[in-house]
Structure 1
Amino acid sequence: MADTIKQRYISGTSLWTDPLKYGTEMFEVFDKPYADPVPLPLVNSAWPLATIIALYLLFVLKLGGQLMARHEALQLRGVLKVYNIVQVLYNTVMLIWGIHLIFVARPYNLSCMTVLPQDHPMKSTERTLSYVYHLNKVLDLMDTVFFVLRKKQRQITFLHVFHHVFMAVTTHMLIRFYGHGGHVYFICMFNVLVHIVMYGYYYASSQSRNLQESLWWKKYLTLTQLVQFLLMFLHCAYTGLQPNCNASRGVIYLICTMSAFMFVMFTNFYISTYIRPKKGRSKGKAQ
């Protein structure tokens, strides 16, 4: 991808001088072979995920609301219990597996984690773990579908939808152009840990309304996510500062930018959800 941009710069092609040619050359990057030669379902072509994302957005932003307008909200209590348990177990397995790979098998230099070569004995493990992580990001889209079916429209925020779509698309693109694993692994472990706590909370809150109201630690889920994005940013920044590290600079810049953006978005969510309402109640009591 970087080579394509460099060639375009040398040739003098730009968005302003020849927008049609520029756009055509931009898409030439998708003609490049996949970074990992092993084809896997959902990641050996962009079309399956693109179709899933398109159907997801169509349902959660339009068709789902129209459908549920004619029906009562579905409780889905049993379905959600199973779904949340599956998510907790799924993420727990990934966390244990990832910790074992990074800290026990230790195929990486932790200060500069690069994608393992194809002939490395741990390559199949790296590939499989990366792949199941991507599948989990696709599975996460069901969160929003359940919100629609339960008529929880207030929870279908821009941040929620953007985050889910971004994670599914980004993990696919990283596998497509960067390959499986590398320093992305380390930051994925932060995300997996947060999801274990998050879906554990969802499971506990689904038991009953009284229990849901008694779970005082809901707001700390958002704080945990903020810590996650901060650690992701710091890890990528640290990797990028290593003078002899050949980890992809494009991936480092992408994750640093994404982490900073998500940190700002989740901070805004935390303030608007947990701080401003409290100030409003305090003013009301004072009056």
Structure 2
Amino acid sequence: MEVIQKMDEVDYSYTSQELNEWFGLRSPNFIFGVIATYLLLIYIIVPNYMKNRPPYQLKTYIVAYNSAQMLACIYIINEIFRITSTKIFRFWECSMFESNTLAEYLFNRVTYFTFWLKISELSETIVFALRKKQNQVSYLHVFHHCSTITLVYLLLVNYRGGSALYPLMLNCAVHVIMYAYYLAAAVCDAETLKRLTPVKKSITTIQMIQFVLILLQAAVMSSSCVIAPMVVGYYAFVVIVIFYGFYDFYRKAYDASLKRS
């Protein structure tokens, strides 16, 4: 098993044990509370509030949100390459960090940042509800957001290996493209948006390829990395369910033969 060496001699002395004491990581109760609040908001509180009100447009917020998400994902990708350089592409290798190194410090910082970024993504569904687009609050959408938060939480409290940065890098790369499309959709006219339809199809394809690569790494990690089998099993289950959801959406949205039937 490869060990990522010290990147300098500065003392970066907060350990994984100390990381588990950071806000939101001390127990799973915080995550359960966030998810429960999220479900109440999108299924009960906001729909009831909007029942006799016109939909909000929220265009300014949508533009700002998509821009911020793009920048956040670019920041994460940059930090991952700062930690691993090109070793990130050797996803079949397990890597751990030496204690009190810059690499461990950066790993803890970027994964904790990702934890809060994923929580911020829950606001997307609340915006759907405020705009009275409840049809977009699909089971896949909700499952995707809830399960992603739990996966990042499990990463932070159960696995401190550099191998976890590979799926994070893939996900952020896809999200840069995805949020760029959403940003364009928010500011472009209807005719321009129609021309971007092939791009939307390509994004769905890229997302599915991402999940295949993530599952391939999960298969390697399950046999060669020191990680709890239950964590790997839950991780693989979530990715498979989300992959199927995207595949089903792709068939229904873009398969011409299905549209004719």
How do 1:117-196 and structure 2 match up within 5 A? Answer: 117-176=98-157, 178-196=158-176
Q: Deviations over 1:136-170 (max 9, x none)?
A: 11011011011111111111100000100111122
Q: How far does residue 282 in structure 1 lie from its aligned partner after superposition?
A: 4.4
1:52 matched to 2:34? The reply is yes
How do 1:1-287 and structure 2 match up within 5 A? Answer: 36-38=17-19, 39-103=21-85, 110-176=91-157, 178-210=158-190, 211-216=192-197, 217-242=199-224, 245-275=225-255, 278-279=256-257, 282=260
Amino acid at match of 1:234: L
Q: How far does residue 273 in structure 1 lie from its aligned partner after superposition?
A: 2.1
Amino acid at match of 1:223: T
Q: 2: CA distance between counterparts of 1:229 and 1:200?
A: 20
Q: 2: CA distance between counterparts of 1:82 and 1:251?
A: 35
Q: Deviations over 1:168-192 (max 9, x none)?
A: 122113322x144432211111111
Amino acid at match of 2:194: E
Q: 2: CA distance between counterparts of 1:47 and 1:133?
A: 19
For the 8 Å contact 1:87–1:196, the answer to whether it is kept is yes
Amino acid at match of 2:247: T
Aligned length: 244
Q: Deviations over 1:191-211 (max 9, x none)?
A: 111111111111000013413
> Would the alpha carbon gap of residues 170 and 49 (structure 1) be closer, same or farther in structure 2, given more than 3 Å must change?
same
Structure 2, unpaired ranges of 5+: 1-14
Amino acid at match of 1:134: F
For the 8 Å contact 1:116–1:123, the answer to whether it is kept is yes
Q: 1: CA distance between counterparts of 2:217 and 2:159?
A: 19
What is the RMSD computed on CA atoms of the aligned residues?
2.4
For the 8 Å contact 1:232–1:255, the answer to whether it is kept is no
Q: 2: CA distance between counterparts of 1:91 and 1:146?
A: 20
Q: 1: CA distance between counterparts of 2:89 and 2:187?
A: 42
Amino acid at match of 2:145: H
Larger Rg: 1
> Would the alpha carbon gap of residues 192 and 46 (structure 1) be closer, same or farther in structure 2, given more than 3 Å must change?
same
For the 8 Å contact 1:130–1:181, the answer to whether it is kept is no
For the 8 Å contact 1:80–1:203, the answer to whether it is kept is yes
Amino-acid identity (%):
24
Q: 2: CA distance between counterparts of 1:170 and 1:107?
A: 20
Amino acid at match of 1:66: N
Q: 2: CA distance between counterparts of 1:156 and 1:112?
A: 38
Q: How far does residue 61 in structure 1 lie from its aligned partner after superposition?
A: 1.0
